[in-house]
Structure 1
């Protein structure tokens, strides 16, 4: 997005059960194997607070504050590439860019999967009372993301694919392995 960017972020978004976290960790493994400096932040952990902070019902301000704090620590170590996974990350590029201090090249990837794939993944992951709620939220999230994702966001389907194949498609979108990101 910005040709004068001093840092880069890969946003991995998608509905619950699509494979964001798993893909993020696999992308990190691929980049480590290629000696590409980066860090990974699982965004779902940045707003895990109940009740929501006063005046922040969607927890976006606490997410931004926490992301800024963690990123500042990574940036102080010299990191300039971030992998950020979060359901709606591809809709919040401005929030992420602000948290990173601006001048950030953004690559967005929306992972997509059908209802049957997601149901199987959520069924294997969720225990207790969370499955029904997570299934409903996932379907609602899929509709929102499909409708609201910007044209620059790359869509990658995860149905019938292994995580390594998906991660390779995601890394290809960044250009980080072939040097075309700058």
Structure 2
């Protein structure tokens, strides 16, 4: 477990493929930079990208946690205590343990589930997926949207992305954290 002097905080941006998690994360980062709020960004999709899956770790959760722990430790040693983390299922209750082990038992977790209609996700994925996996990605995105809708905890902020600007969505996510609130110690 990573220990830090101050409590760490993490904004989890979850949602189906094509919902805009990475794009929103970068816009959240831009808003926080403009407000002089110290933070780090990790795209969780890259924390477990290994083929074949490590022996004894078929869903790659072990290597994902090990990589998150190592990367966060590097940030924490340099004084960072806020993290923006994107991954499809990051908002689900079972991920809390991974973040507590990686960032400390007292980590404050803010969950934001980005949502999009099937039509919107389809349109975005068709533009993004230029390789051989479009059909698989479309089916997987729809299945994951149903899982997330059913299993996201009650305290998860659900933010619809259909027909909205990235800046507007990001402002809603930042507001959920309280990090840019001038009355907080977020800029220290």
TM range (shorter): over 0.9
- The two structures, once aligned, show a CA RMSD in angstroms of 1.3
Question: SS in structure 2 opposite 1:48?
Answer: coil
Displacement, 1:57? Answer: 1.1
**What residue is the counterpart of 1:110 in the other structure?**
113
- Runs in 1 of length 4+ with deviation above 2 angstroms? 179-182
**What residue is the counterpart of 2:3 in the other structure?**
none
Q: Answer yes or no: is 1:130 the counterpart of 2:149.
A: no
Q: CA separation in 1, counterparts of 2:9 and 2:28?
A: 15
Unpaired runs of at least 5, structure 1: none
Q: How many residues align?
A: 178
Q: CA separation in 2, counterparts of 1:96 and 1:52?
A: 21
Normalized against structure 1, the TM-score is what?
Answer: 0.94
Displacement, 1:181? Answer: 8.1
Q: Deviations over 1:113-163 (max 9, x none)?
A: 001110111011001211101001101110111111001111000000010
Q: Answer yes or no: is 1:55 the counterpart of 2:56.
A: yes
Contact 1:10–1:106 (CA<8 Å) still a contact in 2? yes
Displacement, 1:101? Answer: 2.7
**What residue is the counterpart of 2:102 in the other structure?**
99
Q: CA separation in 1, counterparts of 2:59 and 2:115?
A: 23
**Structure 1, 172-181 or 84-93: larger mean CA deviation:** 172-181
